[in-house]
Chain A
Amino acid sequence: MSVETVTQTANGSSPEHLTSASYQNNPYPVPDSQREPLVLGNPSIHDVTEKIAGIVEGKTNLKYWLAVLICASIAGLGFGAIGETVTTGIGVWGSNNTIGWAWDITNFVFWIGIGHAGTLISAILYLFRQKWRTAINRSAEAMTIFAVMCAGIFPVIHTGRPWFAYWLTPYPNQMQLWVNFRSPLVWDVFAVSTYLTVSALFWFIGLVPDLATIRNYVKGKTAKSLYTFFSFGWTGSMRAWHHYEIAYMILAGLSTPLVLSVHTIVSMDFATSVLPGWHTTIFPPYFVAGAIFSGFAMVMTLLVIAREILGLKDYITLKHLENMNKIILATGMMVGYAYSMEFFIAWYSGNEYERTVFINRAFGEYWWAYWSMLSCNVLSPQIYWFKKARRNIPLMFVISIFVNIGMWFERFTIISTSLHHDFLPSSWSYYTPTMVEVGIFVGTIGLFLTLFLLFSKYLPVIAISEIKGIMPGSQPVHHHDEEHHH
């Protein structure tokens, strides 16, 4: 098909009609028809709109609201636990004068890590022209934002006096006090808030054309006015697409270093300390790899469910999932390399504290956390060397859960086992979480799922305009070989 035929097949509604103009600037290279198609079932452009906008317009069933209710209740439980923490004090947790950080910062790093895949898929894969990203980028970005929101809770509530947490931001004040720029916690504030802002912007910019599609699609008055407002008067004109593409590209460019910087800086929370087990130069790349690893695992967990429930199997295909599994395998090997390198350096350094910390990780009181981490993160993805395994839906779901668990344990191992046995044996201690801490963590999972459920209903889970752009025949094609042309 040619560009003209695309225009002709459009149903006349403006998005489809006008988006055709964008194909002139479409950054994607020529589709290789040798490759597995990215959209199955050969839907028409209109079918895509019907399918995805239809989710928004379609009636919700009881099951959906039941799911929302359960997730929101869990989130409410978490907020109750947060209330208990804020009103009574950090003493309701299990941390102590030896182990100052435990579940709180573990959860923070865990959620921040999960929030990595979205931007990576959106920005870096976009810049690398990885077309298969289009099916998953929207939900991955949404997941990023929700995960960063969950993460953001922890640095605030982990402070002893959360009502003063805003002191961590540099703002002019009558006390003439400034933050301590030497502290990595201040860098954290900048890194995380920048990341959240840019991710949200990037996500929103990408949403605008699709919101306009939905604006045109929905019939309810309130819904229409809301989508109208948030689509910012998108007309789909050539000029609009032109600006959009530039803005999208700029934001992709801005986000790319952020993908690396956020977790680099989070890792500096530990790396700049003097504590053996924390004070390690390998941390920045190790943390970034781990973050991508965990982020992809979480995207996998969510997509396996979403494609099933929302009937998006034609759009989120096995190819997408297989590609993601490849990334999980690669990043899993990276963290595995980091784990072994940490041990090697601990031995090679000749530093008795380094050595003790790492021996203690594997054989000390927290051995179970270490071995859970190792088996979940390094061993379980090894099965992805086999193509069959990479395309096995139940298996990849289980592995993705494993990786999520393993990555949580990785952070717990780094934070708590390094603290519980540090320099002076006299102050060595042990940490056990309390129900309040468990409640907060479970609550953030509830919050995350609630937000994701709402997103999957009220926003286009798949980037409509982008998926159209990669559909067979939607691209301007250089005909190297007539036989490949349909």
Chain B
Amino acid sequence: MSQRQHSTYFRHYGELDNPTNGNGQEFEFDTNKPLLDSGVSRRTFMTVLSASMAMAAASCRRPEHKLVAAITPTEYQIPGLPNYYTTVYQHKNAAFGLLVKAREGRPIKVDGNEKHSASLGSSSAFIQGTLLSLYDPDRIRRSRVNGGDSSTTNAASTIAQAITSATNNGKKTAIIIDEHCSPSFLALAQSITSANSSIQFYTLPAIVSHSALANQAVFGLDAELVPDLSKADYILSVDNDFLGTDKNAVYYTKGFSANRKPSKENPTMNKLVSIESGFSLTGANADARIAIQPNDYSAFLSSVLVEVASLKGKAVPSGISANSNNEHKEIAKQLVAAKSPLIMVGDHLPARIIALGQIINQMLDAVGEGKPLSFNHKYFNSSDKTKDISTLTSDLNAGIIETVIYVEVNPEYYADSNLKKLLAEKVRFAASLSCSSHETSEKLAKVNVPTSHYLESWGDAISFDGTYSIQQPIIAPLNENSLSAQDMLMSIINFVNPATFAGTETYYDFIRKQNPQYSSTNAWETLLKDGVASSTVSSEVGNPLGYSALPTEQMSLKGIIASIKPSYSFYDGSNTNNSWLQELPDPITKNTWGNLVILNKKTADSLSIQLGEIVRVSNEKGSIELPAFIQPGVADNVITLTLGYGKTIGGNVHANVGENVYKLLSANSSLYTSVSIEKVGRSEKLATTQGHHAIERYDKPSPFDNEWQERTKDILGVQEGYVTFASLAAASHENHEHEAGEHSHHIADTLSIVPSYNYVGHRWAMAIDMSACTGCSACVIACQAENNIPSVGKKYVANSREMHWIRIDRYYREDEKGNVTTVFQPMLCQHCENAPCENVCPVAATTHSPEGLNEMTYNRCVGTRYCLNNCPYKVRRFNFLNWHKDKKTPLDLAFNPDVTVRMRGVMEKCTFCVQRLNEVKMHVKDLGRTRVHDGEAVTACQQACPANAIIFGDINDPKSKVAQASKIKRGNETQKYKEENGAFKVLSALNVRPSITYLVKVRNTNDVPKV
């Protein structure tokens, strides 16, 4: 036994020799231990954050990673008050300027930056969900080399050795990256390749856009264009889900919804015609929707093109011919007649079909400065990526690539089987830099390096209109071992060739050097504070009218055609280990936790498939087994499948949820394929948040028919479920004397035997414009993030126990031809003045505030659930179990400290974000005012809504937006109901007097083609 002296206590000598406890576990007092492994105690966490905040200057943080005790109070940070920081999120090559709310140093809410061109202050469910991924407990914690733990430096040098050996062997190193829009990353890649000729970057996106290829052919512009929908008054969408799964959907929704709010005073409205095979959110919002097979897109657009050319007197490019059909002619006529038409073709379709759309756009004068389609508005770094993929494949085949570094890409999950085989067999050494472990990092890479989340690292991005933003970290990396992918690349290259980044230590320094115009502290701070700066975008195009060399590929699909779509929640499969997004109901199917085989009734009947039956979908590439979902509006013999599911590695949340549909895709990067379907003889209860009742009652004659019309009137404001723009426009010329608001007040007062409560101060109220709402569900996740709402998992969603405080009700009407009309209705606590939940609570746990809020006192709630039963809107949510019980650290750090985390056995529901109201009221009081001005109090759902469909404020202030909106009149007098259409209360006959006013849905169905 050695005679060593020890100043600290120890358990056995092995502990002193080796900083593990002998069981392979970390020695618990190891100071090098990463933050995450220690479970992040509050104190440690605060220390780290306080330190980072202490070093922050003007809402920025320097990139040092040193710890300083928080004994000295940190500047800018007052405990209990939030700090807001700008940053930017790169959703592939679309940049979203963000404003992140941090409390005590940790980001707790992500919202759009109002000054940013793409987010315009709003966000999507996807962006809201990125916050939870930051705190994902399943993220990689440390580097691994050949399966064993390693330091980051060691990992970097191992990768560097592989690069050097490849160079020495005369082979190449491939750095495979995803699409991005960061000018600094682009410059970094260029610096690396120019200094090291054996290194080459390849962009390998999971979902490939063919727009750049089409734009190259039509305009001579190798980039994806971003149209401005607010400038278009007639939009023809061909399988383009610009309101749903598109990466820029927030911006498109803003532009589209801006022209969807007609009133008698402002009778203008755009029109959307959707041609699609599946049933997308865009189709659901269309004024006219035509379901055709993917095979027919080309013929359809060709016919429209020929017709438009003849109407406009333009020449038809060679090789395009029409198949005469009145329907095409009608649409062409309308396009030509429209003031500002625009055709949007899905960018996952073959380039030829997109090109046809762009040619028609050009014929219709939709292209140019001030037009919907401008050459100034294109994604940064959006040149055609299909070339990269084919180069990578041929280089691998040729055997010239020896080393591969996967930078936040997961080709093992999404690449086609041929490329996967090449990557597995032709590569001698592979390393993966990623936030979470995934199929590629586990199966292909020898070295794994954790990278930091975007909220933890520096970066930059350029938006489609040239807006430049800095991605600044809001929090120090939760995992001390992680670097940003760019920092890691720099440290690898420093081992290979130190001259490459001589004098530039970190990626942060690199970004600063890239932006000499912001070199002064003042300019840099202003840039960080605003989050945006302008930069110039070239609008050069090659051949404005030279569309002679159109791409030639056509779709030739037979039998059952699978139309494969990105996911509403995960797009291509990013952020899947995220319970918020897994539990977000698909806006159309309302299904959670998994993907489906979606097909229409006719197709299902022909294959004798029932709802929920598991079917095997297979083609020559592979097969998947998923439950069938019968969806109205899908074209015959078409099934829709969703990408992004079926992960097997990298987290407990996404493990074995759904199936990986990439298995069916082939190398041509087309999202359409012929498949065969067979039943496997099993069924599954689907975890949908909305039953199938709604549709049954609409389309089948049933004993409920008469009841249904009245019910529709009560719920959606009018008997038909919507008013037509034509009737609204006609009615706007008439004069109506009485106001809708007065009328309803009159009824309310006569029905009550006691006088109404007199609200003297504020009276909070909301107005929801169902005409603007697209059903995108950003509000659902925003509310979840703001209010600490738990996810319950598939089993409990299937039993209607989901906890969302706001949900989007989706109602269909299907005519005998199978045309589907959809109405979306956001439904949340109505804060009834005469609330039925309040008087039945035996312990007075839910009561009314003097400001009109229906308040829930969690502490007092015993959980009898009578309030839930008595709520006509069924918006109350009961904590059937302790949903937070199994929450692993650091997920608890995502909690909003202003909102109670509810225990099991208590009821909860929308509070109108009472914590925000109180914060605003205190702030206003500090300013010496007694009243909150209109627009100062913003609810989380309202803030997120890209359609600006939610208006919140003080209805006691007659000038407030909500008071104005609650008086909006829309449409005519129907035969049966003589009162004004427009603003209405849901289920007003119950006299519960909701505080939420809905504005009736308007559809622009006049002159819509009859199909």
- Asked if B864 lies at the interface with its beta carbon under 8 angstroms from chain A, I say yes
Q: Is the CB of B865 within 8 A of A274?
A: no
Most buried by B among A97, A421, A429, A430: A97
Binds A, one of B492-500, B769-777, B807-815: B807-815
* B888 nearest CB across to chain A (Å): 20
Q: Is the CB of A183 within 8 A of B866?
A: yes
Q: Is the CB of B905 within 8 A of A359?
A: no
A352-B711 contact, Cβ under 8 Å, with A91-B796, A183-B839, A425-B811: yes
* A184 nearest CB across to chain B (Å): 7
Known: A158-B864, A274-B990, A428-B693. 19 other contacts (CB 8 A): A90-B878, A96-B801, A100-B865, A100-B866, A158-B865, A160-B904, A165-B862, A180-B841, A185-B866, A273-B869, A275-B869, A275-B872, A422-B874, A423-B715, A423-B872, A424-B827, A424-B872, A424-B874, A425-B711
Residue of B nearest to A273 (CB): B870
Q: Is the CB of B800 within 8 A of A419?
A: no
Could you list some 21 contacts between A and B, CB below 8 A? A89-B882, A91-B801, A92-B881, A96-B801, A98-B800, A98-B874, A100-B865, A160-B880, A161-B903, A161-B904, A180-B841, A273-B866, A274-B870, A275-B869, A352-B706, A421-B693, A424-B809, A425-B711, A428-B691, A429-B799, A430-B691
Residue of A nearest to B876 (CB): A97
B691 / chain A contacts, CB cutoff of 8 Å: 425-426, 428-430
Within 8 A of B (CB), among A428-455: 428-430
- Asked if A368 lies at the interface with its beta carbon under 8 angstroms from chain B, I say no
Within 8 A of B (CB), among A82-122: 88-101
Q: Is the CB of B865 within 8 A of A101?
A: yes
A353 / chain B contacts, CB cutoff of 8 Å: 707, 711
Q: Is the CB of B842 within 8 A of A180?
A: yes
A168 / chain B contacts, CB cutoff of 8 Å: 842-843, 862, 864
* A97 nearest CB across to chain B (Å): 5
- Asked if A221 lies at the interface with its beta carbon under 8 angstroms from chain B, I say no
B870 / chain A contacts, CB cutoff of 8 Å: 273-275
* A159 nearest CB across to chain B (Å): 5
Q: Is the CB of A160 within 8 A of B878?
A: yes
A425-B694 contact, Cβ under 8 Å, with A89-B880, A97-B800, A97-B876: yes
- Asked if A348 lies at the interface with its beta carbon under 8 angstroms from chain B, I say no
Within 8 A of A (CB), among B848-886: 860-866, 868-870, 872-874, 876-882
A186 / chain B contacts, CB cutoff of 8 Å: 842
A180-B839 contact, Cβ under 8 Å, with A89-B904, A159-B905, A160-B904: yes
Q: Is the CB of A273 within 8 A of B836?
A: yes
- Asked if B177 lies at the interface with its beta carbon under 8 angstroms from chain A, I say no
Q: Is the CB of B866 within 8 A of A355?
A: no
Taken residue by residue from 251 to 265, chain A's Cβ proximity to chain B (1 for < 8 Å, 0 otherwise) reads as 000000000000000
- Asked if B704 lies at the interface with its beta carbon under 8 angstroms from chain A, I say yes
* A283 nearest CB across to chain B (Å): 15
Within 8 A of A (CB), among B685-710: 690-691, 693-694, 697, 703-704, 706-708, 710
Q: Is the CB of B801 within 8 A of A97?
A: yes
A430 / chain B contacts, CB cutoff of 8 Å: 691
Q: How far is the CA of A180 from the CA of B846 in the complex (A)?
A: 10
A183 / chain B contacts, CB cutoff of 8 Å: 839-842, 866
Most buried by B among A89, A182, A422: A89
A159 / chain B contacts, CB cutoff of 8 Å: 862-864, 905
Q: Is the CB of B703 within 8 A of A97?
A: no
B800 / chain A contacts, CB cutoff of 8 Å: 96-99, 427, 429
Taken residue by residue from 327 to 369, chain A's Cβ proximity to chain B (1 for < 8 Å, 0 otherwise) reads as 0000000000000000000000000110110010001000000
- Asked if B906 lies at the interface with its beta carbon under 8 angstroms from chain A, I say yes
- Asked if A189 lies at the interface with its beta carbon under 8 angstroms from chain B, I say yes
Q: Is the CB of A160 within 8 A of B842?
A: no
- Asked if B166 lies at the interface with its beta carbon under 8 angstroms from chain A, I say no
* A172 nearest CB across to chain B (Å): 15
Q: Quick one: which of B710, B861, B872, B904 contacts A91, CB cutoff 8 A?
A: B904
Q: How many residues of B contact A (CB 8 A)?
A: 61
Taken residue by residue from 795 to 828, chain B's Cβ proximity to chain A (1 for < 8 Å, 0 otherwise) reads as 0100111100001011100000000000001010
- Asked if B533 lies at the interface with its beta carbon under 8 angstroms from chain A, I say no
Q: Quick one: which of A273, A352, A427 contacts B707, CB cutoff 8 A?
A: A352
Chain B residues engaging chain A, CB cutoff 8 angstroms:
690-691, 693-694, 697, 703-704, 706-708, 710-711, 714-715, 796, 799-802, 807, 809-811, 825, 827, 836, 839-844, 860-866, 868-870, 872-874, 876-882, 903-907, 986-987, 990, 992
- Asked if A309 lies at the interface with its beta carbon under 8 angstroms from chain B, I say no
- Asked if A178 lies at the interface with its beta carbon under 8 angstroms from chain B, I say yes
- Asked if A66 lies at the interface with its beta carbon under 8 angstroms from chain B, I say no
- Asked if A386 lies at the interface with its beta carbon under 8 angstroms from chain B, I say no
* A106 nearest CB across to chain B (Å): 13
Q: Quick one: which of B810, B840, B906, B992 contacts A160, CB cutoff 8 A?
A: B906
Residue of A nearest to B799 (CB): A96
A165 / chain B contacts, CB cutoff of 8 Å: 862
- Asked if A164 lies at the interface with its beta carbon under 8 angstroms from chain B, I say yes
Q: How far is the CA of A353 from the CA of B810 in the complex (A)?
A: 20
Within 8 A of B (CB), among A51-95: 88-95
Q: Is the CB of A160 within 8 A of B863?
A: yes
A95 / chain B contacts, CB cutoff of 8 Å: 865, 880
Most buried by B among A88, A160, A178, A182: A160
Most buried by A among B711, B865, B882: B865
A426-B905 contact, Cβ under 8 Å, with A90-B863, A180-B844: no
Q: Is the CB of B839 within 8 A of A182?
A: yes
B809 / chain A contacts, CB cutoff of 8 Å: 424, 426-427
Q: How far is the CA of A178 from the CA of B843 in the complex (A)?
A: 7
B861 / chain A contacts, CB cutoff of 8 Å: 160-161
- Asked if A247 lies at the interface with its beta carbon under 8 angstroms from chain B, I say no
Q: Is the CB of A426 within 8 A of B807?
A: yes
Q: How far is the CA of A162 from the CA of B193 in the complex (A)?
A: 68
Q: How far is the CA of A189 from the CA of B866 in the complex (A)?
A: 14
Q: How far is the CA of A424 from the CA of B990 in the complex (A)?
A: 13
B903 / chain A contacts, CB cutoff of 8 Å: 161
A273-B905 contact, Cβ under 8 Å, with A359-B704, A427-B874: no
- Asked if A272 lies at the interface with its beta carbon under 8 angstroms from chain B, I say yes
B836 / chain A contacts, CB cutoff of 8 Å: 273-274
* A315 nearest CB across to chain B (Å): 44
Q: How far is the CA of A186 from the CA of B864 in the complex (A)?
A: 11
- Asked if A167 lies at the interface with its beta carbon under 8 angstroms from chain B, I say yes
Q: Is the CB of A189 within 8 A of B842?
A: yes
Q: Is the CB of A356 within 8 A of B707?
A: yes
Residue of B nearest to A166 (CB): B862
A161 / chain B contacts, CB cutoff of 8 Å: 861-863, 903-906
Residue of B nearest to A434 (CB): B799
Residue of A nearest to B986 (CB): A424
* A276 nearest CB across to chain B (Å): 9
A91 / chain B contacts, CB cutoff of 8 Å: 796, 801, 880-881, 904
Most buried by A among B841, B872, B987: B872
Q: Is the CB of B862 within 8 A of A160?
A: yes
B876 / chain A contacts, CB cutoff of 8 Å: 97
Q: How far is the CA of A183 from the CA of B839 in the complex (A)?
A: 6
Q: Is the CB of B872 within 8 A of A422?
A: yes
A359 / chain B contacts, CB cutoff of 8 Å: 703-704
